[in-house]
Structure 1
Amino acid sequence: MVVFIVRRLVISACVLLVATFVVYTLTALSGDPLADLRQDQTAQRAQKIAERTKLMHLDQPVPLRYVTWLAGVAHGDLGSTRTGQDVGGLLSQAVTATLQLVLAASVLALVVGIMVGIVSALRQYTGFDYAVTLGSFLFFSLPSFWVAVMLKQFAAIEFNNWLRDPEIPVQVIVLVAAVAGLAWSAIMGGNLRRRALAFTVAALSAGGILTYLSLTRWFADPGLGFAVILVVSLASAVGIATLVAGLRNRDPLYAALAAAGVGALSSLALNSVLADPTWAVIAGLALVSVVVSAGIGLALGGVQRRRAVTAAVLTGLFTGGLIFFDRFFQAFSGYSQRTFGRPVSTIGARTPNFTGGFWDLTWDAVSHIALPSMALLLISFALYTRYTRASMLEVLNQDYVRTARSKGLTERSVITRHALRNALVPLTTLMAFDFAGMFGGAIITENVFGWRGLGVMFRDGVMNVDPNPVMAFFIVSGTAVVVFNMLADIAYAYLDPRIRLT
């Protein structure tokens, strides 16, 4: 393993060295960096040209300029832009903005896309499968700039206007209820009677919930409350226990239910702690939740102690997340008032000169990042969904899966312990490129939503014939590609023991 990593690092360093020379040369020769100054009609024109020529070393040939830049990088100096700004400072700000923008979208697309892809493969050629296929192709084919503009118009501007009187029209309630019913009937599958029952229950539930939210003006002052936290936590405990150990094993189920009950009750005792916490306090509460849930699993797990601990810990963390979002939603009304009734933002990463407590600052960050992340999420979601479905279908037809079923293993064990692990092998390459691409930024989305990230930094450098910002971008993105591809190779060996790294 060590030999493999060292060899890959040496080869990658050589490749990056050659690539940096090519990129630097192409950028330097792509135009005239003095073009704007040549049109200057002031008396300082000659002085400005001389200053920029000295700053960018334009009196030297391109290869010598590259060597000068490389020597500076070796000493930790990324140089300056053609206007004299420090590239290192710009890079730090751009990396922070890009990671905030793209990380959440990539993680959500990965988790949700894989889950939907698995269900789509298990429900092959059903209504749900056809709906997912149609949606995936639709999302993947939509132009990102068009999606971004539509989100700004309808999910920000129109939604902010609607929040002044958040009453849901009856036709919208009927439409959403019908869509929910069709979706759940497709997911449940089975005969016509089962589908009709699923449609009815889902449609009535969705319609009833939306009617309640409309009558109580919930969107103007949202919150979950203890009753919702308790019910959703108990339901999640049943679902998590089913995935981890199956409903036949009662001890993990009881441990998960106990963790959900304890977590929901703790929400009543944490009001003062969560009034204005810090991220350190939130992390500490999450750690306490893990410890307490693990203790519950050990106490109630019996012979299924390991699975009981897993189910209890996952349920405890989920319940803690519900408590967090409950307090988060409760702060919405105050934040909306401070932003003059326009809580969903369309420009930038922060509201200028905005100050406040923990929840206000969190709302400010989320309101700025929500729409651009959604614009990026749709395309990645479609990609993960299609790849996961194809990979799962290929694995489910393998001999070892049929052997596992013939041995009497439950369908849950066959899917999670045998099929899914092998289906993730080809997806690992896609994950590596996707996460490495995060560091390349999202030029179109950043431009539409006014984010000063790596993509905009690269665009400005190319347009201004300014090699130093372009090279800073290339170092970050190129290094990310090397590192994540090496991690993918290591993950191959973990997912498939037949693979050896030599």
Structure 2
Amino acid sequence: MLVFIARRLFVSVWVFLASTVVIFFLATNIRDPLAAARQLPDNARESAIAEITERLHLEDPLIIRYFRWLGDVVLRGDLGENLRGQDVNTLLEESLTATLQLVVGATVLAIVVGVTIGVISALRQYSALDQTVTFLAFICFSLPLFWTATLLKDFMAIDFNDWLVEPEISWTFTIVLSVIAGLFGGSLVVGDRRTRLTVFAGTAVLTGALLRYLSATEWFADPGLGPAIVALTAIAGAAAFTALVSGLEWKPPLQAALIAAGLGIVAYFALEEVLDDPTLATIGLLALLTVGICFGVGWLLGGELYRRNAIPAAIFTGLFTGAVIFTDQMLTSFESYSESVAGRPISTIGAETPNYSGTFWQSGLDSFGHLALPTLALVLLSLAQYTRYTRASMLEVMNQDYVRTARAKGLGERAVVTRHVLRNGLIPITTLGAYDIGTILGGAVVTETAFGWRAMGTLLLTGIQEGDPMPIMAFFLVSGGAIVIFNMIADIVYAFLDPRIRLS
């Protein structure tokens, strides 16, 4: 393993250095950096040209300028100054922070949701659910981003903010959404027509009743989950994670997950004062404590025989319960936050409300309100490719001989899917995910422009338009380096997913 990593690092460093040479020569010749200075009046033209020439060392040969830039980066971590004399390190830090806020969450959400839908679609091949998912995936993949952004700003922000003044759900919307939920629930069930119709009717009725209750209580104006919903959700999560990890036929993993959920419910009341206005460090510390405590619960209750299943079931349940409590605290602060921003909680432009100060939860809602639309726009486009890739990969693996052998030996369907099909089917997704995670650090120019974000894409676009090589090189250092690193990580992950692959 160490030899493989060292070899890949050695090759990657030389590939990356060669790429910097190419990009530097392209960046310095893409546009005349003195074009704007030459348009100045006579009394200011010569001094401006001389200043830019000295700042960018335009009088030196390109090869000398490249090695001066490389030396500053390697020895001092200095990315230089742009045409205006601004420190590129500062510009890069601000742009990278905005990009991480904007794109990382969208990419992770697209991967998790896309892979999940792709797995379900493959397991229900040629069913109504599979055909619906395929149809919607192609629609989402075909949507122009700028058009999607405009629609989201109009209907998901402006109209939604207006609706929050009197959050009443119409009967038409209730009926339509109930039917859609019923169709989705019925399509997930494997059985005869009577079973699917029963699930359809039950899901539709429950959805309709829930929507009418939320409308009558004006829940959306002052939302919150409350102790009962938090407890029920935690218990349901314990059962779901146990079924996913080990199945419900073994008691120790289920007991560990239920105890983890119970400890989370107790913490919901015991930490009320701590969670009133915490810090990000406090939330991180609580997450680490959750992992440690749940690990101990799984270790003790799992025993020698079931420890391998009990530990992840308990940890997943504990983190899920913590996420539910986090969501409840965030929703409880929604009304006060909405009043502080004049009833416009969903923003259409920018990364944050200027000069806004509030509690931890209110600041989180402010960030979420600014991230909601661009995240949704990016997820709609990325979701389709992960769904289709996962479905195709799963179907290919499901037809392999070793999967038929596993079923013939009597192995349960859950074990066949999770241990054999999904594990090997994730290899192409690993390649796609590693590439996407590497490229997201380069930003999303169209999304940033549509929603008024100044991030990595804007840094690159400004550098190209002004013929400024230093911001372009700063952009390439981050995006190119991320692609090299994450592709190397993908190669290492291959060996863990597929035992047939050997790093040697």
Q: TM-score range by the shorter chain?
A: over 0.9
d(CA) in 1 for partners of 2:177, 2:426: 34
> Match for 1:242: what amino acid?
A
**What is the aligned partner in structure 2 of residue 199 from structure 1?**
200
Aligned pairs (5 A) from 1:215-254? 215-254=216-255
d(CA) in 2 for partners of 1:18, 1:322: 48
Residue pair 1:436, 1:480 contacting (<8 A) in 2 also: yes
**What is the aligned partner in structure 2 of residue 352 from structure 1?**
354
**What is the aligned partner in structure 2 of residue 365 from structure 1?**
367
d(CA) in 1 for partners of 2:212, 2:415: 40
1:440 partner SS = coil
Give the C-alpha shift of residue 300 in structure 1: 4.3
**What is the aligned partner in structure 1 of residue 443 from structure 2?**
441
> Match for 1:495: what amino acid?
L
Question: Could you tell me the TM-score, scaled by structure 1's length?
Answer: 0.96
**What is the aligned partner in structure 1 of residue 186 from structure 2?**
185
**What is the aligned partner in structure 1 of residue 433 from structure 2?**
431
Give the C-alpha shift of residue 340 in structure 1: 0.8
**What is the aligned partner in structure 1 of residue 328 from structure 2?**
326
Give the C-alpha shift of residue 298 in structure 1: 4.5
**What is the aligned partner in structure 1 of residue 47 from structure 2?**
47
Deviates more, 1:330-339 or 1:20-29: 20-29
1:84 matched to 2:85? The reply is yes
Aligned pairs (5 A) from 1:113-192? 113-192=114-193
Residue pair 1:240, 1:315 contacting (<8 A) in 2 also: yes
Give the C-alpha shift of residue 128 in structure 1: 0.6
Cα distance change on mapping 1:74 and 1:319 into 2, 3 Å: closer
d(CA) in 2 for partners of 1:2, 1:287: 29
Deviates more, 1:54-63 or 1:290-299: 290-299
Cα distance change on mapping 1:153 and 1:312 into 2, 3 Å: same
Question: Could you tell me the TM-score, scaled by structure 2's length?
Answer: 0.96
Cα distance change on mapping 1:405 and 1:216 into 2, 3 Å: same
1:43 partner SS = helix
Give the C-alpha shift of residue 438 in structure 1: 1.2
Residue pair 2:27, 2:473 contacting (<8 A) in 1 also: no
> Match for 1:385: what amino acid?
T
Structure 2: tracts of 5 or more residues without a match: none
> Match for 2:173: what amino acid?
V
d(CA) in 1 for partners of 2:298, 2:2: 38
Give the C-alpha shift of residue 8 in structure 1: 2.3
Residue pair 1:441, 1:454 contacting (<8 A) in 2 also: yes
1:99 matched to 2:91? The reply is no
Aligned pairs (5 A) from 1:50-65? 50-65=50-65
**What is the aligned partner in structure 2 of residue 408 from structure 1?**
410
Give the C-alpha shift of residue 430 in structure 1: 0.7
**How many residues get paired?**
502
d(CA) in 2 for partners of 1:304, 1:14: 47
Deviations 1:316-361 (A, max 9, x none): 2211211111111001111111111111112221211111221111
> Match for 2:177: what amino acid?
V
Deviations 1:380-429 (A, max 9, x none): 21111111111110111111111111111111111111111111112211
Give the C-alpha shift of residue 72 in structure 1: 2.1
Deviates more, 1:16-25 or 1:314-323: 16-25
d(CA) in 2 for partners of 1:294, 1:489: 29
Deviations 1:216-245 (A, max 9, x none): 111111000011111112222221221122
Deviations 1:356-376 (A, max 9, x none): 221111111111112111111
The Cα RMSD (Å) is 1.6
Deviations 1:143-162 (A, max 9, x none): 11111221111111111111
**What is the aligned partner in structure 1 of residue 272 from structure 2?**
271
d(CA) in 1 for partners of 2:432, 2:291: 31
Give the C-alpha shift of residue 475 in structure 1: 1.1
d(CA) in 1 for partners of 2:483, 2:312: 34
1:492 matched to 2:480? The reply is no
d(CA) in 2 for partners of 1:193, 1:207: 21
Residue pair 1:126, 1:189 contacting (<8 A) in 2 also: no
